[in-house]
């Protein structure tokens, strides 16, 4: 009993071609956005990449809090830290 699906080579070729085009377009969009950034935008983006993990993730309340509620607190704290530097 063969349960492995057969690959439609033409569909696979179209998928690869689609992502080649999409990848080039996404790359162009990324570079356009980077060129349009101000120095303040760039500084904020760098700040967001360097969140102090101890301050964000290791809280005593996190052990017992509901997941989504605590996640929102973490995101709020990260936002506050990134906008007040």
Instruction: State the pTM of this model.
Output: 0.42
- For residue range 23-76, what is the model confidence (pLDDT) as tens digits? 999 999 999 998 998 888 888 877 777 766 655 556 665 566 677 777 788 888
pLDDT at residue 84 is higher than 90: no
Task: Give a yes or no: residue 66 inside a domain.
Answer: yes
Highest average pLDDT, of 2-11, 14-23, 33-42, 75-84, comes from 14-23
69 is in which domain, residue-wise? 51-85
Task: Give a yes or no: residue 40 inside a domain.
Answer: no
Count of domains observed in the chain: 1
Contact 81, 55 (CB under 8 A): yes
Q: Give the per-residue pLDDT at 61.
A: 58
Task: Give a yes or no: residue 75 inside a domain.
Answer: yes
Task: Give a yes or no: residue 4 inside a domain.
Answer: no
Task: Give a yes or no: residue 58 inside a domain.
Answer: yes
Task: Give a yes or no: residue 62 inside a domain.
Answer: yes
* Burial environment of residue 78 by CB neighbours within 10 A (0 to 12, 13 to 18, 19 or more): middle
């Amino acid at each position: 009993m063969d349960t492995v699906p057969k690959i439609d080579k033409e569909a696979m070729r179209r998928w690869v071609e689609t992502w080649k085009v999409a990848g080039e377009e996404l790359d162009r969009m990324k570079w356009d956005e980077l060129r349009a950034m101000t120095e303040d935008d760039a500084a904020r983006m760098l700040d967001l990449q360097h969140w102090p993990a101890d301050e964000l993730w290791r809280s005593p309340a996190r052990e017992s809090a509901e997941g989504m509620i605590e996640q929102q607190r973490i995101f709020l704290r990260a936002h506050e830290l990134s906008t007040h530097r």
